[in-house]
Chains A and B, each alone.
Chain A
Amino acid sequence: MFFKNFLYHFGRYVIMLRTALSRPESFNMYYRETMRQMNDIGVGSLVIVALIAIFIGAVTAVQFSYQVTGTLVPIYYIGYIVRDSTIIELAPTITCLVLAGKVGSNIAAEIGGMRQKEHIDAMEIMGVNTAAYLIMPKIIAAMIVIPILVALAAFVSIIGGYLAMVLSGAMSDAEYVQGVRSFFVEFNVVMMFVKALVFSFLLTSVSAYQGYHVRGGSIELGQASTNAVVFSDILILLFDYLIALLLT
């Protein structure tokens, strides 16, 4: 039963994406919609992403400091650990989990609301490819702005670690900077962007799928919104593991 259900939804998801991949009726309209989505997803998420990132960096630094205190591990390693854990894992994964909640639920509710208020039917009757017009701009916008948000989150997180360590006097400015500059592997940045791209595709397409196929009333819309977040989160964590296996 579970497998049959999975195949049914996966099939509909693939068909939706295939329908969405068609030539736009008007490049101008799609461009404007993509710009609007970039603003909503990117600019609209800046504050929450920065706020979470600064605390992630600070907490990582404080907890690692607690673990290395009284050991032979050099204290400057704190900067190195904050940098690498942020770039490899925390910035892409935590940022995208948060965005699945903020952006994913918003996408599901927006498209689902349009379905229920017959806006999608109205567009279909006009001859608009609704899967393309309503979904592709969101996916493209997310795949452009979310990697930028993730890079920003990584930077802010490292600053967060700096503030927590240096301002509290736990270590000197020079020690933290030395840690941040030590053992740098460029490929980790590539891995961060690969994760950001895959996660942004997943969270927008899964959320759009939930909204696009919503039926019924406000309860079903609420369920679709919740499902968008839950399934996006599960898939992000699953693909996080797969990418880690493949790229490390």
Chain B
Amino acid sequence: MIKAENIFKSFGDKEVLKDISATFLPGQTNLIIGRSGAGKTVLLKILVGLIQPDEGTVWYDEVDFSHLKKKDLRTVRMKVGMLFQGSALFDSLTVEQNIRFPLDMFTNMTAKEKKDRVNYCLERVSLEGANSKYPSEISGGMQKRVGIARAIVLKPKYLFCDEPNSGLDPKTAIVIDELIRSITIENDITTIINTHDMNSVMEIGDHIILLYDGKIAWQGNKAEVLNTDNEILENFIFASPFLQRLRSTALNNG
């Protein structure tokens, strides 16, 4: 479980996050949604420890994550996996070397054990046989899947995904969403996804937080989205006339 308590963050005069408190439970996909500039990425970076909040605390289970010493922070981080928006794969390493990197750095596993673990992770993201390819030789969707494989190779307790579907076609985006969701449930991981992809919201939104102007404007799950009377959420989710018509039809048909 990850818990954010009264998080405030400003950059200069601009208040980006104002009193954010939320709990993210394990075994479910927690989505942070909101318009560009709403503070999603800053909140995710605070939760993962890349940015320090001005005020407030982030708890990883019983550990006060935002006030840890650097050495202890690294120990906790070994339990964290993250999928970046641009995948952040190391260009000069092959797919296998990318996934093996955390194993080489932090474990005393034998070469065979590492190979088996890498192959398992590749199999898990349906990329068997891509071991020797370089990131530049594979598609954006495959790069995301390699990013997921690298994020789960150390069996993390916490998984963060920053815009996992950006730049992907709708079909590939669904594959990535389903993959993240199934990995989350299988391993009882606390997964936090930063997204503005509406398909993701409706498909895998077990717990959704809508950020607006640096504050939490709405919390709920995907079933509650359709029936909401929250104006900010309505304006965000059903921004296009097409979706508004679709929603009216769905509600009219019961």
Contacts and interface: CB of A to CB of B under 8 A. Distances in A.
Nearest to B107: A26
A127 B81 CA distance: 10
B224 interface: no
Contacts of B91: 117
A119 B50 contact: no
Contact of A122 (B74, B84, B104): B84
A126 B101 CA distance: 10
B90 A119 contact: yes
B26 to A, nearest CB: 18
Contact of B105 (A118, A119, A124, A126): A126
A29 B93 CA distance: 14
B106 interface: yes
Contacts of B49: 125
A124 B50 contact: yes
A220 interface: no
A126 B88 contact: no
A125 to B, nearest CB: 5
* Band of interface residues on B: 20 to 34
A19 B74 CA distance: 13
Given A127-B74, A127-B75, A127-B78, A118 B106 contact: no
B118 to A, nearest CB: 15
Interface in A110-129: 117-119, 121-122, 124-129
Interface string B89-130: 011000000000110111000000000000000000000000
B78 A126 contact: yes
Contacts of B80: 125-127
A25 interface: yes
Interface string A19-33: 100000110110000
12 contacts: A19-B70, A29-B105, A118-B84, A121-B84, A124-B77, A125-B80, A125-B160, A126-B101, A126-B106, A127-B78, A127-B105, A127-B106
Interface of B: 48-50, 70, 74-78, 80-82, 84-86, 88, 90-91, 101-102, 104-106, 154, 160
The 5 closest A-B pairs by CB, nearest first: A127-B77, A122-B88, A118-B88, A127-B74, A127-B78
Given A25-B105, A118-B84, 16 more contacts: A118-B85, A118-B86, A119-B88, A119-B90, A121-B84, A121-B88, A122-B84, A122-B88, A124-B77, A125-B49, A125-B50, A126-B101, A126-B154, A127-B75, A127-B76, A128-B74
